[in-house]
């Protein structure tokens, strides 16, 4: 299982609150969307959940276990994996080796080669296995990051703008991938600006604005929510 | 009216990937033009090309009818183009006064710069010796605007002025922007938060995937179109 | 009380010099982002120039001072900015570091070349003939008073410049946001120029003020900077007031240690090492830095093939045997250290090349390896070699623990401090007893080192030890290549490329870093033991900081990502001796070589080995040419052994032959790959192929 409960998380730099009493959940087998305008605090929330940033207050609970005080590596061993909006590939390793490092650190380290081949095939990246990962275009690099996170066989997968730079057809395929990941029982949390994709694949959407969750619910409700629209359009 | 700032058929790319596919934009003196659109549409790139910070692959950049295509940022700054970049228009470790001092390289005296800045934003006079990084977000944007004004620009390019600010402060800032435009400055504003800027804009352009999809007056039709863009079409 | 005051005055005077030098360092670092390891060496050059003008050529003191401080120093700063440091700004942390380390090494070599180190150069303090004056109970000489006054004036002047002038605002603004400075119409390059000119002047002032109280010695003066580093780190490389405070702490600590440290044979070194100990302590008091994002400029780490590596390792052994059988004893002593130093240099590959940890203490660890072997392997016992590697690895792990808190420039500083602590204190200790074991280091002189005893076969003469070292290097190359191909090598590269991603995938940063530090320390220790065997008797000077710099520089020039680095570094280190043996006057210019090439690293950040590898690859793949090369090798070797040809003929024949065969292989390779036929001529100049149609169709669709 890979359920996530975040409650009361606040991150303050000086007087500014990047996150303010944020609560959200993600369930296994479901894709949870996290949307909001630029600077709303989405990536900061991912840093808090993955252990790269300590919140000033609040709790992060993974599978019923409080992990707030654990470092990133310990959380990864509890089944958490993520991608980065700013792209954090291992640039000097090939695409295949990027995945292999993750697989060798994950629960299926004994069959790492098998895991790597399987994921590369699933993502349609098999022909890039030996390509140096610093020579990829941004769109492909994002996909490789998703693959690397998958190679760790996570129970909870945090994806930070994985589809940026993809065209219409690629986005379609990516949506299918997300659904199949959830179908495998993974809890997927998706930060994305492509609203078509979010509304299409998410079972539940949380909307973050100025560090606060301003709405949560299924996509069709969020789409018609006046507060959400106001946040995006900047109405008071 | 002749446009003061004009972009014609601008194409630009990052790492060989085209970000702008032929962008046309005109901003007249005293006009506020809002450039709206979802993330990654190419709005910031358009501003960067207009300020000379990013090179255009083709197309022309005209300033008051003069062709300044390919000029470097310092020349454009001297020709009266002022870019206030997203989220970092101030030097955080310098005092307010020293931030303003940095605007004297274009030939104005310290007194002139401070007079213009403090007249427009009196709160800055009270904070003169405070380090810019310790100001509130709104005050920092005021300082950024004030620094822009101090050079007496012909063209003001604003990128995401509202980022991370509460709506009331944003509205107040845009009031000041409108006031600046009334003095004959051509203002081009890039925004994701559309509402505040639509209240003061004379003209709006909506950009999607590197192209301007729609030009027009900021009316209700535009608002509906934007909400469809941001939150996915509801039909 | 009187004594206390006297030491206090001395301490404050020293502090004043450190403060002046340290503030120059802070000024250039904050404005330009380049941490200048050569800052102290710049001051050293200024002190020598001042001596030359005032004492050497007898110019009046004010004229000499004005020339150095107002003409030479700022001019030198401008030249450095224009031709070296401006290019450094666009580079990654490691390359910038290499460039200033190259400057440091180059300045010391220049000073030793121009000013013969064996000649004493007394420099008299300012107003030496005036009576010292009393201030209350304290007695102060005029030189001390002037030094302190200068520091106060520098403090006031810098404060006024930075806070009261537009140029100062421009400099501080450049630190905050370089791009934004460009948008205001100001000029960030001008701010940099001012910073380098002022920084050089401050270093010069410090150098001239301190030179009369210490000996005018190139490396000693250059390393005074360690105290100034400690002061600057006090100010976190940002704050000038804290830098001044740090200078007072360092200066007074040194002075009072001189006065009040108990007199015994173990402690005099502690006083000399005090600045380095303080530097180490201050570095560790830094708060944890957040997990770093990725560095844009990364040096590629090619995957060595197992076959290629095996061929390379075999050639190393062959080279060792060739040299051992053809060189005379004297030449063997000159060139034989190449394999031992090669092992030391190879230790940089996993540590710095893969894991990105810049360490300047590898040769010091080699020194530890040498003394451990000297003590445990006094009769050449083979187990002692294993123990040497093990003990060196433990030392490496001990360095790693504090080093985990540091990265980039701070790690380089920390390892420098460690090296200096060893140089000035630990290596100078007489033998002592620890937990009932008698430990002798260099015995305050030299330690005797013998060759290993290989199952009854005692390796004694230089030639035998050379072959043994070549075999060790070959094994180490195989080991490092296997590491690169395996899980641990991948992890090291991954954690360097993105610590954040590595940690969030469940990787243990601490464990990986400790392991790689001990692994490379083990290698360095082995190299040190081999180097010791080769030299037969080692002193602490063989392993000090200044001796280690050229090895680091050459290793970087070679390319830290390549396993060929060891042989390259070893050969390049001893290679120039071939020329020097022909033309002895080349001795000094050759000393400058590593520094000059190190400065050029900005042009080829990946090093020269990848280029060499590309050049030699065709030869490795072409069996015919390879056989020809082996034949040539065997032929000239046999001729030399039969005394038909001399050593020089052998050398030239191999050089020319290998070069010609490499060219031949390249030509044969080019002939095999079909020339590129333009698309219009397909089917005309070459036959039409089945796949051509599809290629054309795709090209048209894309166009």
Which distant-in-sequence residues (6+ apart) come within 8 Å of B217 by Cβ? Answer: B202, B203, B204
Residue C292, pLDDT score: 44
CB-CB under 8 Å, C183 with B102? no
Separation between Cα atoms, residue C270 and residue C276, nearest integer Å: 10
CB-CB under 8 Å, C505 with A89? no
Separation between Cα atoms, residue C547 and residue C138, nearest integer Å: 42
Q: How deeply is C49 buried, as exposed, middle or buried, from its count of CB atoms within 10 A (0-12, 13-18, 19+)?
A: buried
**Same domain assignment for residues B165 and B220:** yes
Report C:290-349 residues touching A (Cβ under 8 A).
Answer: 290-291, 293-294, 298-301
**Same domain assignment for residues B4 and B62:** yes
Separation between Cα atoms, residue C488 and residue C494, nearest integer Å: 10
Separation between Cα atoms, residue A23 and residue A8, nearest integer Å: 6
In the predicted structure, residue C222 carries a pLDDT above the cut 90: no
Q: Shortest Cα distance from A192 to chain B (angstroms)?
A: 10
Residues of C in contact with A81 (CB under 8 A): 504-505
**Same domain assignment for residues B189 and B129:** no
CB-CB under 8 Å, A196 with B232? yes
Q: Which residue of B has its CA nearest to C177?
A: B91
Max avg pLDDT among C53-57, C293-297, C474-478, C659-663: C474-478
**Same domain assignment for residues B158 and B187:** yes
Residues of A in contact with B191 (CB under 8 A): 234
Confidence of residue A236 (pLDDT cuts 50, 70, 90): very low
For residue range C379-406, what is the model confidence (pLDDT) as tens digits?
A: 888 899 999 999 999 999 988 887 777 8
Tell me the backbone φ, ψ of residue C660, rounded to 5 degrees: -65, -45
How many domains does chain B contain in total?
A: 2
Confidence of residue B235 (pLDDT cuts 50, 70, 90): very low
Domains of chain C: 2-285 (1.10.3470), 306-574 (1.10.3470)
Residue C542 near residue C535, CB atoms below 8 Å: yes
CB-CB under 8 Å, A229 with B193? no
Chain B contact present for A109, CB below 8 A = no
Residue C657 near residue C619, CB atoms below 8 Å: no
Q: Has residue A99 been placed in a domain? A: no
For residue range C570-629, what is the model confidence (pLDDT) as tens digits?
A: 998 888 887 787 778 877 777 788 788 777 776 677 778 887 887 877 777 778 888 888
Of residues C73 and C586, the one with the higher pLDDT is C73
Q: Has residue A163 been placed in a domain? A: yes
How many domains does chain A contain in total?
A: 1
Q: Has residue A113 been placed in a domain? A: no
Last residue of a domain, one of B119, B134, B152: B152
Chain B contact present for C443, CB below 8 A = no
How are beta strands C133-135 and C138-140 bridged, if at all? antiparallel
Residue C686, pLDDT score: 64
CB-CB under 8 Å, C180 with B105? no
Which distant-in-sequence residues (6+ apart) come within 8 Å of C618 by Cβ? Answer: C662, C665, C666, C668, C669
For residue range C186-205, what is the model confidence (pLDDT) as tens digits?
A: 777 888 899 999 999 999 99
Residue C554 near residue C573, CB atoms below 8 Å: yes
Separation between Cα atoms, residue C3 and residue C139, nearest integer Å: 10
**Same domain assignment for residues B131 and B222:** no
Q: Shortest Cα distance from C298 to chain B (angstroms)?
A: 18
Helices (H) then strands (E): counts for chain C: 33, 8
In the predicted structure, residue B122 carries a pLDDT above the cut 50: yes
Q: Can you tell me the mean pLDDT for C433-460?
A: 81
Residue B114 near residue B146, CB atoms below 8 Å: no
Residue C678, pLDDT score: 63
Interface test with A, best of B174, B201, B231 (most A CBs within 10 A): B231
Interface test with C, best of B75, B96, B105 (most C CBs within 10 A): B105
C-alpha separations of C596 from C99, C103, C591 in Å? 9, 8, 10
Domain holding A23, by residue range, is 4-91+154-234
3-state secondary structure chain A: CCCEEEEEEEEEECCEEEEEEEEEEECCCCEEEEECCCCCCHHHHHHHHHCCCCCCEEEEEECCEECCCCCHHHHHHCCEEECCCCCCCCCCCEHHHHHHHHHHHCCCHHHHHHHHHHHHHHHCCHHHCCCEHHHCCHHHHHHHHHHHHHHCCCCEEEEECCCCCCCHHHHHHHHHHHHHHHHCCCEEEEECCCHHHHHHHCCEEEEEECCEEEEEECHHHHHHCHHHHHHHHCCC
What ipTM was assigned to the predicted interfaces of this complex? 0.95
Q: Has residue A140 been placed in a domain? A: no
For residue range C670-692, what is the model confidence (pLDDT) as tens digits?
A: 776 655 666 666 666 666 666 66
Max avg pLDDT among A175-184, B144-153, C319-328: A175-184
Tell me the backbone φ, ψ of residue B216, rounded to 5 degrees: 160, 180
CB-CB under 8 Å, C181 with B102? yes
Q: Has residue A181 been placed in a domain? A: yes
* DSSP bridge partners of B11: B21, B58
In the predicted structure, residue C111 carries a pLDDT above the cut 60: yes
A110: tokens are: 């004994």
Report the candidate in B33, B83, B16 with the shortest Cα–Cα distance to residue B212.
B33
Of residues B111 and A193, the one with the higher pLDDT is B111
Residue A93 near residue C493, CB atoms below 8 Å: yes
Report the candidate in C336, C594, C316 with the shortest Cα–Cα distance to residue C480.
C316
**Same domain assignment for residues B35 and B6:** yes
Residues of B in contact with C239 (CB under 8 A): none
Residues of C in contact with A101 (CB under 8 A): 490-491, 494, 502, 505, 507
In the predicted structure, residue A130 carries a pLDDT above the cut 70: yes
Q: Has residue A126 been placed in a domain? A: no
Q: Has residue A147 been placed in a domain? A: no
Report the candidate in C288, C490, C502 with the shortest Cα–Cα distance to residue A76.
C502
Residue C619 near residue C625, CB atoms below 8 Å: yes
**Same domain assignment for residues B32 and B137:** no
Q: Which ranges in B56-109 belong to alpha helices (H)?
A: 73-78, 96-101
CB-CB under 8 Å, B15 with A193? no
Report A:196-215 residues touching B (Cβ under 8 A).
Answer: 196, 198-200, 210
Q: Which CATH number do you get for residue A42?
A: 3.40.50.300
Give the one of C176, C179, C183 whose C-beta lies nearest to B93's C-beta. C176
Report the alpha-carbon angle A141-A182-A214, nearest 5: 85
C-alpha separations of A125 from A120, A128, B16, C130 in Å? 5, 5, 21, 82
Which distant-in-sequence residues (6+ apart) come within 8 Å of A182 by Cβ? Answer: A29, A30, A31, A188, A203
Residues of A in contact with B166 (CB under 8 A): 210
Last residue of a domain, one of B106, B124, B152: B152
CB-CB under 8 Å, A164 with B192? no
C-alpha separations of C274 from B61, B232, C14, C210, C410 in Å? 62, 67, 14, 18, 18
How are beta strands C432-434 and C453-454 bridged, if at all? unpaired
Q: Can you tell me the mean pLDDT for B134-151?
A: 85
Residue C34 near residue C205, CB atoms below 8 Å: no
CB-CB under 8 Å, C490 with A93? yes
Tell me the backbone φ, ψ of residue B3, rounded to 5 degrees: -70, 145
Rg (CA), chain A: 17
Chain B contact present for A37, CB below 8 A = yes
Separation between Cα atoms, residue C60 and residue C401, nearest integer Å: 53
**Same domain assignment for residues B163 and B113:** no
- Assign B82 to helix, strand or coil: strand
**Same domain assignment for residues B69 and B96:** no
Which distant-in-sequence residues (6+ apart) come within 8 Å of A133 by Cβ? Answer: A89, A90, A91, A93, A94, A95, A98, A141, A144
Last residue of a domain, one of B119, B152, B185: B152
Q: Which residue of B has its CA nearest to A225?
A: B231
Domain holding B210, by residue range, is 1-80+154-235
Q: Which residue of C has its CA nearest to A112?
A: C487
In the predicted structure, residue A220 carries a pLDDT above the cut 50: yes
- Assign B78 to helix, strand or coil: helix
Residues of C in contact with A52 (CB under 8 A): 290-291, 500, 503-504
Residues of B in contact with C186 (CB under 8 A): 102, 105
Residue C676, pLDDT score: 62
For residue range C224-276, what is the model confidence (pLDDT) as tens digits?
A: 778 888 898 888 888 888 899 999 999 999 889 888 888 777 777 888 888 89
CB-CB under 8 Å, B78 with C185? yes
Report the candidate in B83, B72, B60, B77 with the shortest Cα–Cα distance to residue B189.
B83
**Same domain assignment for residues B140 and B197:** no
Chain B contact present for C492, CB below 8 A = no
The secondary element (H helix, E strand) that includes residue C353 is none
Kindly report whether the global pTM for this prediction surpasses the value 0.90. no
Residue C20, pLDDT score: 95
Q: Which CATH number do you get for residue B171?
A: 3.40.50.300
Chain B contact present for A221, CB below 8 A = no
Separation between Cα atoms, residue B121 and residue C599, nearest integer Å: 50
**Same domain assignment for residues B70 and B161:** yes
**Least confident range of A19-28, B161-170, C467-476:** B161-170
Q: Shortest Cα distance from C318 to chain A (angstroms)?
A: 33
Q: Can you tell me the mean pLDDT for C357-373?
A: 93
Residues of C in contact with A141 (CB under 8 A): none
In the predicted structure, residue C504 carries a pLDDT above the cut 90: yes
Residue C622, pLDDT score: 79
CB-CB under 8 Å, A230 with B231? no
Residue C158: other Cβ atoms inside 10 A: 20
CB-CB under 8 Å, C493 with A90? yes
Q: Shortest Cα distance from A118 to chain C (angstroms)?
A: 19
Residues of A in contact with C293 (CB under 8 A): 86, 88
Work out the percent of chain B whose per-residue pLDDT is above 70.
Answer: 94
Of residues B151 and C217, the one with the higher pLDDT is C217
């Amino acid at each position: 299982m890979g359920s996530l409960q975040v409650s009361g998380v606040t991150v303050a730099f000086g007087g500014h609150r990047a996150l303010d009493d944020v609560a959200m959940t993600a369930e296994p087998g479901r894709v949870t969307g996290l949307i909001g305008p630029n600077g709303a605090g989405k990536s900061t929330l991912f840093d808090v959940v993955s252990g790269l940033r300590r919140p000033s207050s609040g709790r992060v609970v993974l599978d019923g276990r409080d992990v707030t005080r654990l470092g990133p590596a310990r959380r990864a061993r509890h089944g958490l994996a993520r991608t980065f909006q700013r792209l954090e590939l291992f640039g000097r390793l090939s695409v295949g080796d990027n995945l292999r490092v993750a697989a060798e650190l994950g629960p299926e380290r004994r069959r790492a080669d098998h895991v790597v081949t399987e994921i590369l095939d699933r993502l349609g990246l098999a022909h890039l296995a030996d390509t140096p990962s610093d020579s990829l275009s941004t769109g492909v690099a994002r996909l490789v990051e998703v693959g690397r996170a998958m190679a760790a066989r996570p129970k909870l997968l945090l994806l930070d703008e994985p589809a940026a730079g993809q065209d219409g057809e690629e986005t379609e395929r990516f949506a299918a991938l997300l659904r199949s990941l959830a179908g495998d029982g993974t809890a997927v949390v998706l930060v994305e600006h492509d609203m078509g994709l979010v509304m299409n694949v998410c079972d539940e959407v949380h909307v973050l604005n100025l560090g606060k969750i301003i709405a949560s619910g299924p996509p069709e409700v969020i789409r018609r929510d006046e507060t959400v629209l106001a946040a995006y359009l900047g109405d008071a | 009216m002749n446009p003061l700032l004009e972009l014609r058929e601008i194409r630009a790319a990052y790492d060989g990937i085209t970000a702008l596919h032929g962008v046309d934009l005109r901003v007249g003196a005293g006009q506020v033009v809002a450039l709206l659109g979802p993330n990654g549409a190419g709005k910031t790139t358009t501003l960067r090309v207009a300020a000379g910070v990013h090179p255009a692959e083709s197309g022309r950049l005209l300033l008051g009818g003069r062709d300044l295509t390919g000029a470097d940022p310092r020349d454009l700054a001297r020709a009266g183009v002022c870019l206030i970049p997203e989220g970092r228009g101030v030097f955080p470790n310098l005092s307010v006064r020293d931030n303003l001092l940095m605007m004297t390289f274009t030939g104005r005296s310290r007194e002139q710069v401070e007079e213009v800045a403090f007249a427009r934003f009196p709160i800055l006079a009270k904070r003169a010796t405070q380090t810019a990084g310790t100001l509130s977000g709104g005050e920092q944007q005021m300082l950024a605007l004030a620094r822009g004004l101090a050079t007496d620009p012909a063209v003001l390019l604003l990128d995401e002025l509202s980022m991370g600010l509460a709506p009331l402060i944003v509205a107040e800032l845009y009031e000041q922007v409108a006031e600046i435009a009334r003095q004959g400055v051509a203002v081009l504003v890039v925004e994701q938060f559309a509402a505040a800027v639509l209240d003061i804009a004379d003209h709006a352009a909506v950009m999607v995937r590197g192209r301007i999809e729609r030009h027009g007056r900021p009316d209700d039709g535009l608002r509906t179109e934007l909400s469809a863009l941001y939150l996915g079409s509801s039909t | 009380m009187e004594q206390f005051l006297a030491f206090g005055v001395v301490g404050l005077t020293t502090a004043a010099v450190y403060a002046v030098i340290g503030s120059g360092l802070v000024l250039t670092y904050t404005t330009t982002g380049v941490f200048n390891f050569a800052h102290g060496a710049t001051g050293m050059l200024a002190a020598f120039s001042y001596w030359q003008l005032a004492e050497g050529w007898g110019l009046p003191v004010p004229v000499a001072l004005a020339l150095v401080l107002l003409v030479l120093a700022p001019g030198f700063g401008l030249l450095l900015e224009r031709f070296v440091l401006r290019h450094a700004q666009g580079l990654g942390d490691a390359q910038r570091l290499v460039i200033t380390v190259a400057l440091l090494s180059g300045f010391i070599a220049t000073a030793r070349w121009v000013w013969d180190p064996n000649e004493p150069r007394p420099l008299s303090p300012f107003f030496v003939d005036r009576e010292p004056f009393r201030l209350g109970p304290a007695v102060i000489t005029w030189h001390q008073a002037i030094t302190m006054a200068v520091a106060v004036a520098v403090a006031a002047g810098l404060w006024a410049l930075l806070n009261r002038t537009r140029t100062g605002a421009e400099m501080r603004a450049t630190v905050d946001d370089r791009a934004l400075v460009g948008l205001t119409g100001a000029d960030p390059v001008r701010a940099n120029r001012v910073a380098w000119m002022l920084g050089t002047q401050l270093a010069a002032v410090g150098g001239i003020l301190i030179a009369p109280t210490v000996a005018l010695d190139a490396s000693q003066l250059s390393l005074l900077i360690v105290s100034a580093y400690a002061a600057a780190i006090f100010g976190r490389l940002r704050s000038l007031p804290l830098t001044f405070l740090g200078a007072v702490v360092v200066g007074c600590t040194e002075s009072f240690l001189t006065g009040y440290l108990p007199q015994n044979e173990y402690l005099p070194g502690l006083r000399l090492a005090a600045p380095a100990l303080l530097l180490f302590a201050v570095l560790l008091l830094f708060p944890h830095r957040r997990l770093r994002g990725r560095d844009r400029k990364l040096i590629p780490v090619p995957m060595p093939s197992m076959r290629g590596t095996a061929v390379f390792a075999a050639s190393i052994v062959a080279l060792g045997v060739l040299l051992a059988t053809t060189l005379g004893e004297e030449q063997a002593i000159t060139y034989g250290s190449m394999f031992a130093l090669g092992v030391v240099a190879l230790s940089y590959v996993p540590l710095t090349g893969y894991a990105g940890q810049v360490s300047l203490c590898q040769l010091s660890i080699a020194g530890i390896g040498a003394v451990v072997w000297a003590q445990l392997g006094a009769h050449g016992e083979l187990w002692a070699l294993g123990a040497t590697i093990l003990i060196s690895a433990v030392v490496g792990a001990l360095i790693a623990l504090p080093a985990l808190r540091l990265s980039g420039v701070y790690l380089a500083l920390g390892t420098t401090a460690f090296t200096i602590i060893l140089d000035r204190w630990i290596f100078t200790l007489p033998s002592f007893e620890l937990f009932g074991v008698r430990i002798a280091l260099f015995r305050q002189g030299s330690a005797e080192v013998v060759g290993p005893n290989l199952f009854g076969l005692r390796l004694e003469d230089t030639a035998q030890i050379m072959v043994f070292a070549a075999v060790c290097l070959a094994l180490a190359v195989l080991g490092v290549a296997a590491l690169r191909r395996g899980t641990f090598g991948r992890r090291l590269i991954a954690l360097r490329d993105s610590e954040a991603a590595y940690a969030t995938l469940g990787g243990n940063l601490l464990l990986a870093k400790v392991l790689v530090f001990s692994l490379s320390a083990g290698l360095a220790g082995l190299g040190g033991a081999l180097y010791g065997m080769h030299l037969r008797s080692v002193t602490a000077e063989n392993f000090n900081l200044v001796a280690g710099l050229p090895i680091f520089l050459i290793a970087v020039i070679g390319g830290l990502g390549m396993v060929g680095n060891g042989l390259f570094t070893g050969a390049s280190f001893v290679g120039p001796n071939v020329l020097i043996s022909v033309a002895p006057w080349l001795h000094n210019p050759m000393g400058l070589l590593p520094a000059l090439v190190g400065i050029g690293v900005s042009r080829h950040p990946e090093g020269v080995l990848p280029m060499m590898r590309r050049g030699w690859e065709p030869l490795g793949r072409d069996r015919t040419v390879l056989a020809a090369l082996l034949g040539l090798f065997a032929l000239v070797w046999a001729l030399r052994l039969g005394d038909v040809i001399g050593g020089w003929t052998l050398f030239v024949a191999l050089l020319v032959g290998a070069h010609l065969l490499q060219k031949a292989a390249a030509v044969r390779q080019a002939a095999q790959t079909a020339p590129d036929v333009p698309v219009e001529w397909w089917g005309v100049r070459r036959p039409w192929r089945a796949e051509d149609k599809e290629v054309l169709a795709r090209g048209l669709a894309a166009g």
